[in-house]
Each structure stands twice: as C-alpha cells, then as structure tokens.
Amino acid sequence: MKMILAILRDEDSENVSHELVKSEYRVTRIASTGGFFRRGSTTLMIGVAENKVEDAIQVIRRACAPAIEPGTKRATLFVLNVAHFEQI
C-alpha cells in the first residue's frame, strides 16, 4: 500500500478528485495554500495498492488542465510507503 499526496491547483481539484473517485480510488481532500503568494491549493491523500500507483498518477495527469504559463508545473506528487493500512 502506498499513499499519494498530490498538491493541486484549486482549479484542477474538482476534476482530479472526480476522475480518481470514478476510477475507484479513495480520495481525501484538504484545503491548503502554497508558495509565496499563498495561492489556494488542494492536497489530496490517495491510498493506493502498490501496483496501482502508476495508474493513479496517470489519472491525475490526464485530469489536470494544461499549465497556463509554459514551464510551470500543474501538480506536485509525493508517494509515501504505508507500513500498515487498516479500516475499522
């Protein structure tokens, strides 16, 4: 099990969450701000099976709108190892 932390532009968060849920990923959304100007961003926590990480990242990649300014990034992803996963 892995956890993907995806930091998205606010304008992409709706569509990315929607596409992930449609693909049956479990998504938790947290409001965040980033960078110098404290632009609003959204942080998604996505718990995924090891062999689904690439697929989930692909879903995110496709669901982010193109960057407005060339050279800027649309999303930042951190994939963390999960030592233990449990639903109660």
Two tokens at 68?
């407005």
| Residue 66 touching a second copy (CB under 8 A) | no
| Residue 64 touching a second copy (CB under 8 A) | yes
| Residue 65 touching a second copy (CB under 8 A) | no
CA dihedral sign of residues 52, 19, 3, 68: positive
Member of 15, 49, 60, 65 binding a second copy (CB under 8 A): 60
CB of 27 to a second copy, least distance (A): 7
Residue pointed to by tokens 């062999």: 51
Member of 9, 41, 52, 56 binding a second copy (CB under 8 A): 41
Member of 10, 11, 21, 55 binding a second copy (CB under 8 A): 21
Phi, psi of 17 (to 5 degrees): -60, -45
Q: Are 8 and 16 in contact (CB under 8 A)?
A: yes
| Residue 15 touching a second copy (CB under 8 A) | no
Q: Are 30 and 43 in contact (CB under 8 A)?
A: yes
